Chain A
Amino acid sequence: MFYRENGQFKTTYKADQQAFVIPQDRWAIVAIVVFAFVGVPLLVDEYMFRAILVPFLILSLAALGVNILVGYCGQITLGAGASMAVGAYAAYNFLVRVDGMPALAAILLGGLVAAAAGIVFGAPSLRVRGLYLAVATLAAQFFWDWAFLRIKWFTNNSSSGNVSVSDINLLGWTVNTPTDKYLFCLGILVAFTMMAKNLLRGNMGRQWMAIRDMDVAAAVIGIRPMYAKLTAFAVSSFYLGVAGALWGFVNLGSWEPAAFSIDRSLQLLFMVIIGGLGAISGGFFGAAFIVILPIFLNQMLPLVGGLLGLDVSIALAAHVEIIIFGSLIVFFLIVEPHGIARLWATGREKLRLWPFPH
């Protein structure tokens, strides 16, 4: 009834080519963004910001980067955490070694360095495909893990790769309270999501999707596989690098290489697969799922145990937590292999016809 597009005629090419063709979508997005900027800071408390919202925003950005590579270009990567690490440490080096470097510029430069590293480690994708490539990307993961631990120059000679960044200063605005951090990350996330949306519906995104669907066929119709694959690696790594820098600068404040270990890579891949491959909203759903579920389980298990009259020890709770987490992942994959974004799309189709489905 409310979500129905008949009667909406487009009379110009411009109207037909906008990012969100249906006005309801457009207004819904605007409303969500406005609510995120204005409403959320009024409603939630500091704990929410620190424990849930800031990690959620940053991981959404990272998941968006992974989705560009895995969901749109079809190159499975298990080295996403490495790109985040490169971004974080490169940004740190820019900040520490260059006098008067603004934090935002350092973060973006960190993203660029991560993009360069991504191109180098993405180069094998020209020869190696599929699961072989997925395992080969682990080379990047383990190499950078090692590099940030052992090569002292990268970490400004700190022991065990532990580095820290004080509060970020942005044109006189000091980002130090949880609300500031939230707004800072939100701003970057909104800008990057817009960029991704436009990139993906443009020439480059279409090339990636052609490569994903079948690279030989794409090459036959004149798409250069090398250019398409390497740009996908570069853009994806840029997103991941920026997300990594944010994770280090804003969320953690001080970090060591273990923050970007292989577990992080797997977590990011989980997000895009559970959220939905090849859908921008997928990254957000996946990040929400992965960030909130452990916290939820963590809070709920002692309660449930208390109700049943069981004394749940911390170790047992942790084990039950990963058991439930693992089984939920398998369950979701069985129920909806195309991710939460697909459920959402199905719901929208239903909504279009509601309340007269025939």
Chain B
Amino acid sequence: MAFFLETLLGGLMSGMLYSLVALGFVLIFKASGVFNFAQGAMVLFAALAMARFSEWIPGWLGIESLFVANVLAFSVAVVIMFIVAWLIERLALRHLVNQEGATLLMATLGIAYVLDGIGQTIFGSDIYKIDVGMPKEPVMMLESVFEGGILINKEDFIAALIAALLVISLSIFFQKTATGRALRAVADDHQAAQSIGIPLGRIWVIVWCVAGITALVAGIIWGSKLGAQFSLQTVALRALPVVILGGLTSVPGAIIGGLIIGVGEKLSEVYLGPFVGGGIEIWFAYMLALVFLLFRPQGLFGEKIIDRV
């Protein structure tokens, strides 16, 4: 029982991290109808920027404190992600308005290649450490309830907390601020939003900036777990089933989808994996999402698809 709970909690926490990446997909798709395959590349790019600047800045400015260096690196990385977002909108997306979904998908793939290339040219292509002072040692919990207690990875726990915080602040931003309302209006109907004077171009830049920040947070968390390296990109592929399970247009869907996929992956790997040779996490997540989709083709919280001739 303790072991089951441990797996479950591990799944929930890694699910939170998947949601973080999935959020980036959902934000952009909601606002501009672009299925952003470059999200993985953005996560990698942001993680590399963070890792390298936190390494370079102490040397440049002579700062000793790790905390100050990290804060500075974080702000530089944020600025860089803003510039990336602005460039993407300016150079690519603005010219592709009203194209079909598949074309836009391919364009973001092209952007992903460019980001990969630039990121590795500027920041190098080794594995870099991101050290934001996350505690590594696991802790025991609920020792009084179960024999031996439950082993929890503190790092995962804090990461899940940060993810939850980000989600809450994003929902406040979307629900309460004027910009957030404008974003939702654009998501509902481009033309209607434009007709009441919401500037589409600026909204898109803002959305990509927000997605860039979620990518940065995801990059820092994943990067401090795995190191900032090329394989961070595959995190995006792990997050895709989350997106379709929750619904392409739903922020709460991304969170709940992430939790379902996280738990499903961990449980399947532990209880089903040994019988078929292991390593089933990644396709199991897709199969799980597929099963949900067969019952709700628009995802759990997606807008209902209505077909008219």
| Chain A residues in the interface with B (C-beta under 8 A) | 70, 76, 124, 127-132, 134-136, 138-139, 142-143, 145-146, 149-151, 214-217, 220, 262, 266, 269-270, 273-274, 277, 315-316, 319-323, 325-330, 333-334, 337
Contacts and interface: CB of A to CB of B under 8 A. Distances in A.
Contacts of A220: 309
Contact of A322 (B103, B116, B237, B289): B116
Contacts of A262: 237
A333 B293 contact: no
A142 B248 CA distance: 21
A319 B107 contact: no
Contacts of B279: 146, 149-150
Contacts of B305: 129
B102 A326 contact: no
Interface string B284-309: 00110110011001110000010111
A131 B249 CA distance: 12
Given A138-B286, A151-B277, A327-B110, A334 B92 contact: yes
Contacts of B105: 76, 131, 134
B114 A124 contact: no
B283 interface: yes
A216 B293 contact: no
A147 to B, nearest CB: 9
Given A136-B290, A138-B286, A322-B116, A270 B106 contact: yes
Interface of B: 35, 91-92, 95-96, 99-103, 105-107, 109-118, 120-121, 125, 237, 240-241, 243-244, 248, 276-280, 282-283, 286-287, 289-290, 293-294, 297-299, 305, 307-309
A337 B299 contact: no
Contacts of B276: 150
Contact of B102 (A76, A217, A315): A76
A272 B276 CA distance: 36
A139 B244 contact: no
Given A138-B286, A323-B114, A337-B103, A132 B298 contact: yes
Contacts of B308: 216
A48 B270 CA distance: 50
A333 B111 CA distance: 12
Contacts of A316: 121
For A129, A319, A328, the residue with the greatest tally of chain B CB atoms inside 10 Å of its CB is A319
B110 A130 contact: no
A230 B258 CA distance: 31
A146 to B, nearest CB: 5
A322 B110 contact: no
B121 A320 contact: yes
Contacts of A127: 293-294, 297
Given A146-B282, A323-B118, A333 B103 contact: yes
A143 B102 contact: no
Contacts of B106: 269-270, 273-274, 329, 333
Contacts of B307: 215-216
A45 B305 CA distance: 55
A315 B287 contact: no
Contact of A135 (B103, B111, B243): B243
A326 B111 contact: yes
Nearest to A220: B309
B92 A216 contact: no
Nearest to B295: A127
B117 A132 contact: no
